[in-house]
């Protein structure tokens, strides 16, 4: 690419930065951690799904500082080789010779980028890098930047961030006021309906925005990157997987449904979807790793709004939506998450820290039906005995109490309250 064209594009991208701060920008919950490490000479890496706010977060962290910026998620940069990256640096230095930070957006689009970054790091540049593919970034960073980077994963808005974005301040006192509780639940319904992608709330047609984002993620981050030949198969499997959010699945079952010859193909497609942060696979906990890998997994989607925009409404269960929201919040907290299933019972979430089982969580819309309550409680108590864990929680839409069964105490908490204080 000609240097003059590079310079023109970089100047245009520089102008776009000022437009970012005209919008309603909130401090993300990851900001505190990233601000703390910003001065470190280690490379800062922000990973997450497309349009979850990685770029805006990085610009916000660098606001008021002198920094160079290149957005590689630009169709004019398609086909750029790593050998040309020095031309980008040269043009950046001509535009602003004194910058101290270098922000490279969606850098994984350039093959061999890590060698360029490694060389510049040795020269003293302070980097922030963003990317929307977990495997490419982690693999390349691990291979060439071992011990030289710090990473953080960003997700769409949490419920707390959503309330800030909506200018709805909630205090602990508000949780005890009837009108405020009703407001929180109305807002939670909207959050479940449209999810937490920051741009969705300014979109004229929110469902269309989410469908287009979903399609673009599959096309740009999977089909193009991995040269997928049977695109229709991939898209059908993706829709099937996301339609089964908060449910168990197996590669062999999907193989039979779609009559695909190799289970390896199914596994690859699901892994590609996970690497692009569209979905997550969760293992059934066992102290034997071999057993974990052999058993069926559960699947969750990156955003409930995306689920509701692409999955037929008749097949959406509200309890499963709540479970998906709980899973995403646990991921935001960097928890090590499993489920725990045996032939006669299942616990939705098992939280592990090191070798210890820290908490067992059941999620359902309501336990007012006696058979539902009996099933959820029995599963918790059985798992508690088997795993020697007494921290037992049931998350429902709007139930709050504690129940003692023998020596065990089970806490029931509303989803809205758990999301606000978790």
pLDDT digits (tens, 9 = 90+) for 203-231: 999 999 999 999 999 999 999 889 999 99
Residue 71 · residue 92 · CB < 8 Å = no
The CA–CA distances, whole Å, from 401 to 270, 287, 396, 404 equal: 39, 32, 11, 10
The pLDDT, as a whole number, for residue 146 is 67
Element (H or E) spanning 130, and its range?
A: strand 126-131
The pLDDT, as a whole number, for residue 282 is 98
Residue 347 · residue 341 · CB < 8 Å = yes
Residue 147 · residue 122 · CB < 8 Å = no
The pLDDT, as a whole number, for residue 359 is 98
Q: Is 283 exposed, middle or buried (0-12, 13-18, 19+ CB in 10 A)?
A: middle
Residue 106 · residue 131 · CB < 8 Å = yes
Q: Is 365 helix (H, G, I), strand (E, B) or coil?
A: coil
Residue 196 · residue 51 · CB < 8 Å = no
- Each of the 422 residues of the chain gets a pLDDT tens digit; together they read 999 999 999 999 999 888 887 777 899 999 999 999 999 999 999 999 999 999 999 999 999 999 999 999 999 998 899 999 999 999 999 999 999 899 999 988 888 888 899 899 989 999 999 999 887 666 666 666 767 888 899 999 999 999 999 999 898 898 989 999 999 999 999 999 999 999 999 899 999 999 999 999 999 999 988 999 999 999 999 999 999 999 999 999 999 999 999 999 999 999 999 999 999 999 999 999 888 988 999 999 999 999 999 998 777 899 999 999 999 999 999 999 999 999 999 999 999 999 999 999 999 999 999 999 999 999 999 999 999 999 999 999 999 999 999 999 999 999 999 999 97
The CA–CA distances, whole Å, from 404 to 310, 357, 407, 408 equal: 42, 21, 7, 6
The CA–CA distances, whole Å, from 274 to 162, 271, 344, 414, 415 equal: 24, 5, 29, 29, 26
Residues 6+ apart with CB under 8 A from 190: none
Taking the C-alpha atoms of residue 279 and residue 241, their distance in angstroms, rounded to an integer, is: 8
The CA–CA distances, whole Å, from 181 to 107, 364, 368, 375, 420 equal: 43, 20, 20, 29, 12
Q: For each of the domains in the chain, give its residue range(s) and CATH number, in order of start.
A: 3-154 (3.40.50.300), 317-422 (3.40.1350)
The pLDDT, as a whole number, for residue 30 is 96
Q: Is 404 helix (H, G, I), strand (E, B) or coil?
A: strand
Q: Is 201 helix (H, G, I), strand (E, B) or coil?
A: helix
The pLDDT, as a whole number, for residue 21 is 76
The region, left, alpha or beta by phi > 0 then psi within -120 to 50, assigned to residue 303 is: beta
The pLDDT, as a whole number, for residue 312 is 85
Residue 149 · residue 46 · CB < 8 Å = no
Question: Of 48, 71, 50, 76, which Cα lies nearest the Cα of 219?
Answer: 50
The pLDDT, as a whole number, for residue 172 is 87
Phi, psi (5° rounding) for residue 219?
A: -70, -50
The pLDDT, as a whole number, for residue 139 is 65
The pTM for the full model equals 0.95
Question: Of 403, 413, 402, 357, which Cα lies nearest the Cα of 384?
Answer: 357
Size (the chain), residues: 422
Residue 175 · residue 169 · CB < 8 Å = no
The pLDDT, as a whole number, for residue 140 is 64
Handedness of CA 75, 81, 82, 83 (dihedral sign): negative
Question: What residues does 349 pair with on adjacent strands?
Answer: 361
Q: Is 217 helix (H, G, I), strand (E, B) or coil?
A: helix
Beta-sheet strands, E only, within 312-355: 336-342, 345-353
């Amino acid at each position: 690419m000609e240097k003059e064209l590079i310079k023109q594009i970089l100047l245009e991208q520089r102008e776009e930065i000022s437009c970012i701060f005209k919008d309603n920008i909130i401090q993300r919950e990851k900001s505190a951690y990233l601000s703390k490490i910003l001065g470190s000479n280690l490379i800062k890496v922000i990973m997450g799904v497309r349009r979850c706010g990685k770029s805006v977060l990085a610009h916000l962290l660098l606001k008021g500082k002198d920094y160079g910026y290149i957005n590689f998620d630009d169709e004019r940069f398609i086909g750029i080789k790593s050998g040309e990256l020095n031309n980008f640096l040269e043009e950046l230095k001509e535009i602003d010779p004194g910058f101290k930070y270098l922000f490279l957006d969606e850098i994984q689009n350039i093959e061999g980028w890590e060698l360029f970054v490694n060389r510049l790091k040795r020269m003293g540049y302070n980097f922030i890098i963003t990317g929307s593919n977990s495997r490419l970034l982690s693999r390349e960073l691990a291979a060439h930047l071992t011990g030289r980077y710090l990473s953080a994963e960003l997700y769409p808005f949490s419920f707390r961030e959503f309330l800030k974005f909506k200018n709805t301040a909630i205090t602990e006192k508000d949780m005890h006021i009837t009108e405020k509780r009703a407001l929180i639940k109305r807002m939670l319904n909207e959050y479940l309906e449209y999810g937490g992608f920051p741009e969705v709330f300014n979109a004229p047609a929110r469902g269309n925005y989410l469908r287009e984002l979903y399609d673009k993620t599959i096309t740009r981050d999977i089909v193009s990157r991995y040269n997928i030949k049977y695109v229709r198969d991939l898209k059908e499997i993706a829709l099937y997987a996301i339609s089964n959010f908060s449910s168990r699945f197996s590669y062999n079952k999907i193989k039979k449904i779609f009559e695909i010859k190799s289970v390896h193909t199914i596994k690859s497609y699901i892994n590609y979807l996970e690497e692009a942060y569209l979905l997550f696979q969760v293992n059934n906990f066992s102290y034997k790793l071999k057993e974990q890998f052999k058993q069926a997994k559960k699947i969750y989607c990156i955003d409930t709004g995306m689920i509701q925009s692409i999955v037929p409404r008749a097949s959406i269960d509200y309890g499963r939506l709540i479970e998906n929201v709980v899973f995403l919040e646990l991921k935001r907290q960097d928890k090590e998450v499993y489920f725990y299933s045996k032939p006669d019972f299942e616990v939705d979430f098992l939280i592990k820290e090191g070798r210890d089982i820290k908490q067992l969580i059941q999620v359902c819309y309501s336990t007012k039906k006696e058979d539902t309550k009996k099933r959820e409680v029995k599963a918790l108590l059985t798992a508690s005995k088997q795993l020697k864990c007494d921290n037992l929680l049931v998350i429902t839409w709007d139930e709050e109490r504690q129940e003692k069964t023998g020596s065990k105490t089970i806490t029931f908490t509303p989803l809205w309250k758990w999301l606000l204080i978790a």
